[in-house]
Amino acid sequence: MSSIFSKIISKEIPADILHEDDLCLAFRDINPQAPTHFLVIPKKEIVSMADLVDEDQAAVGRCLLIASRVAFEQGLENGYRLIANTGEDGGQEVPHLHFHVLGGRNLTWPPG
Ligand code: DGP
């Protein structure tokens, strides 16, 4: 399923890109919920965590590594939160797998 994130990958619509490689892309969330809020997505069109198959292991692994690296580059040495909203109950709005990284403030738990 194509989504707005496919257009960000293809550069049809602009985004504030923090990292790009052959497997994944990291860019700032358009509606930040914390002082630092970026998304890491696989370039492959994977709908959600619920749709992962064996062959996605490298892409998802890379996304997590890049989340960690970009978080460091963005100065989140005090910590951050990594979230993958999944499906309707998970509050997922964009049907392209994405990892939110939020930091720069004290985040409450549990989430709503
Ligand atoms: P989720 O609810 O987990 O599907 O979150 C989707 C996130 O994607 C939401 O925080 C806003 C962000 N988003 C949606 N459209 C765009 C866009 O066009 N550009 C950017 N940078 N972020 C977007």
In a domain? residue 14: yes
In a domain? residue 70: yes
95 class by beta-carbon count within 10 Å (0-12 exposed, 13-18 middle, 19+ buried) = middle
Domain tally, the chain: 1
Q: How far is the CA of 98 from the centre of ligand 1 (A)?
A: 9
Residue nearest to atom 19 of ligand 1 (CA): 30
List pLDDT tens digits, range 65-97.
999 999 999 999 999 999 999 999 999 999 999
Q: Is 30 in the pocket of ligand 1 (CB under 6 A)?
A: yes
| pLDDT computed for residue 67 by the predictor | 99
The domain in which residue 22 lies consists of 4-103
In a domain? residue 110: no
In a domain? residue 85: yes
List pLDDT tens digits, range 3-20.
999 999 999 999 999 999
CATH of the domain at 23: 3.30.428.10
Asked if residue 1 has pLDDT above 80, the reply is: no
Q: Is 91 in the pocket of ligand 1 (CB under 6 A)?
A: yes
Residue that has been written with the tokens 């994130």 in this structure: 5
Catalytic: 100? no
Q: How far is the CA of 55 from the centre of ligand 1 (A)?
A: 25
In a domain? residue 108: no
